[in-house]
Chains A and B, each alone.
Chain A
């Protein structure tokens, strides 16, 4: 048979491609549920670590921890809010919100959907875990921050990246960097402010952390993305603060002690 004729070549390649496509389609659909489960677990693991759950004392992820159980035990509520802090109905924070799409909406000034994970700590404290996504030096960076019930103090933070430089920018995903965020304040001289990543050292600043030496661009990107996203969450956090302050004013006895109520 002439293997160089046009008809033969066309038929040969068509048959080959159809067979290969069938094999790949079968493999992709057979493995899809397992892959999705892995991705969900990885997401649960990052969300939990933003509230410092499932971490060893040095801040690294505890290898023995079952993050799916921890997630199900601690996350008591999830919801999606818009930039005015109002709850968006009918959207699942875990499944439906694509942070990358929200990041491009945020840049263009379009309406955004911001996920909030309400986490109940072992001692009963409630921590709201907020998301972050941005552009690093080489690729995407993303992360979560846990904000305590006072809507001001950070309980923890975690970051990850697609392709930052190993040994330099990639250090944002390592414990010595992200544990610095614990206990930092989302305020500067009484005003709402994001936590800043400061080149040259934060020197114990209440809302600043040390940048990574040799990774100025990635450090700046973390700082800028945090500012952008926490800025979007600002309405949600400040609404909660004023809502929490309301009941105390109705009781006159406590009102005198609360200087904010006098205004």
Chain B
């Protein structure tokens, strides 16, 4: 470790020794809205040096004193070029004009962090416009479902938002909304994610080669940035779909200084069903009510204090709510009621302060709050009084973070910073209140709260060694203090790019990750009972080491091709013991969870191919994954290696969008996945009681191995058509989406059932998402 630190210091120190360099810095924005451009490129064609904008649209490029030919570009915008003699530190803010009429739009992927010339690999940036043009299930565009189409990302059960990245589990993905972790990214049992595409500006997925600034999860980082808001005039859009309605409004509070952006959506199946449920019970005295809905609200205020200082305040709140009620006549004059409300969701807020300390140094300070709470309330009211029961569980984080971007010289782009997080884990707490027969009772029981503390520190340097060879070297340090025990972790991160020519490069990367929290969840779908628990004295943090190697090629017609191979080793993974589950007959989910699990290891390796076209009338990608994911636990399957739950050998994702005209465009997705695994007992046999001879032989089920059975392959075609029309005060769009266009029945779960007509036991699958057409209407103004 000392050696690593020494070399890191050496690299940074060499960068500080250059002289006669000047820095060009500034922001890239979109002219009509003032929205900052993340991942925009600034490239000097003389020195062949370039940088990309950070999450706030800021860049800083240090070059020697000389004449420069600077190209500024951002995905989908006209490239801008400036020639001048660099002889002092210079600020250049560029506002790009959106002009879709241009025949040649700029492709920046090859200049960006993730493209041919960037040092990062296993990283994909998807423009939100691409996500919005993809087919939507029930009219709801979903960020996570778009990511599932990428190579290396496996989806969970049919239609769900579960993500399994490079053989990792669903809790090994760090989902960041404006830099704040989202602990439960699912609505409606995982069929939709909490990310409202209308509120989002940028989505970046890291599935390996993690920059040192990220930590806390083993398998992926999904970095989502929300819109800052238009600083020129008020804009918005609203849409009505079969499942939900959405509205998004953004604009200036003080022109070109303070902006707001607010988005909200709500499903209304509960409201639509209400009159039908009432009508069905019209002739009954007893009444039953049932409703389910989810909603979410994103809000953000951005304020430019000065050229050097900017403030951002962002907020998210989203909940799923199930409510049931039962009313019955206890006597002719008295109705008794029984109600249950179950709500679960996230609340997130972040206050960020950008400070351009100098042209070379950019600082961002953030105060974060995130919480996920699951809450059940039951109430019974009858002639004897009232009785109520409550159940609460969740997690809450408060954190402070400071990040620096420092570009000291031509060849170094340094990022460093740290974060302190105060976690509050709230394992399940049950309360009982009763006021019956003049006898009041209040009982509160459950597990005590746990307050771990976590510190993360990092430093990384994007180093240009030669014109062909560039590297990113970094170190992430974390410590987690829980139950009087402090875990520490040093995680080296290294990636390198070698440019074979202007259109080809090879890249290699190595990264280590550590994770200090586990999600206790069922394997198949997201339930509101899913519960985060921290590592403990007995259960050590999960760790992973990943190495990847890739080849990147810029094909004609703006098509990017990449092929990557990876090998990932994971330790201290957890799985439920055989026969154990989330729910125990006594106690709570959190109580005794350490006794229900086994600790083991995992391997994942494979190859990913991506062919991507990001600009032009036709955009989209073809992704193919060949992958293996295995697990080994001493006390599961008697120590034998077994395939992971979502071990899929082949996975294909094709997504295409084509703009036929200003009035009409369409998109299509096709996915194919080898069947996931399941544990299926295939033989029945008798076995005697060893101690009492052969007289008594009960029946047992033979399982060859954990996850011995492979479910049927799944595939699906989704199509969407968008009809646009300019109207007096904006544009209206009719969207027609067809989910599962050829109605392929993909298995959600499998089970055995006795079929009466044939007299046979049969293995059956349940498919829950057949051919699903939907329509939505939206207005953009």
User: Do A and B interact?
Assistant: no
